[in-house]
Amino acid sequence: MSKNKEMEFQLIVTIVNKGYCGSVIDSSLEAGAEGGTIITGRGSGIHEKAKLFSFTIEPEKDIILTLIPADRTEKVLEAIVKASKLNEPGNGIAFVVDVEKTTGINHLIE
């Protein structure tokens, strides 16, 4: 649990095509984030469906989790959207989730 109840965090979840996580991490660091966690996943959307011998191929994705103090969220999200061109179809998606409790990030809380 957070030691300081006044410190609020949000989680920016960004999903991009595999290999494009670097622009997400770099832009978020420049905008005030302190890092991110990259997870590999698979998915499909209307712009990504491909078939091989009648089997649907699900493209690989990079999922970047950025836990950030709530007062920095908007600036970091804007930087991610711009650097990753998320406003263009097929480039990915980002969304923000409120975080109720945190632990293990003492350097930000103290």
pLDDT at 3: 46
Q: Report if residue 4 sits inside a domain.
A: no
Alpha-carbon distance of 43 to 93, in angstroms, equals: 12
| Number of domains present in the structure of the chain | 1
**pLDDT score recorded for residue 104:** 81
| Token representation of residue 71 | 């007062």
pLDDT at residue number 105: 74
* Cα 104 from Cα 110, distance rounded (Å): 11
- Which CATH number goes with the domain that contains 96? 3.30.70.120
pLDDT values of the chain reduced to their tens digit, one per residue, 110 residues: 444 456 799 999 999 999 999 999 999 999 999 999 999 998 766 555 566 566 655 688 999 999 999 999 999 999 999 999 999 988 999 999 999 988 887 666 55
Task: Please say whether the dihedral angle defined by the alpha carbons of residues 90, 96, 99 and 105, taken in this order, is positive or negative.
Answer: positive
Q: Which two tokens stand for residue 2?
A: 């957070």
Does residue 106 belong to any structural domain of this protein?
A: no
* 108 within some domain: no
The answer to whether the beta carbons of residues 108 and 69 sit under 8 Å apart is: yes
Residue 98 sits at φ, ψ, to 5 deg, of -70, 140
pLDDT of 2 reads 43
Residue 9: CB atoms within 10 A of its CB come to: 20
Integer Cα distance of 40 and 19 in angstroms: 10
Q: What angle do CA 15, 89, 17 make, to 5 degrees?
A: 35
38 in a structural domain? yes
- In terms of residue numbers, what domain contains 63? 9-100
Assess if residue 3 is contained within a domain.
no
Q: Is residue 107 part of a domain?
A: no
pTM of the model: 0.81
Q: In this structure, is residue 105 part of a structural domain? A: no
- Tens digit of pLDDT for each residue in 38-48? 999 987 665 55
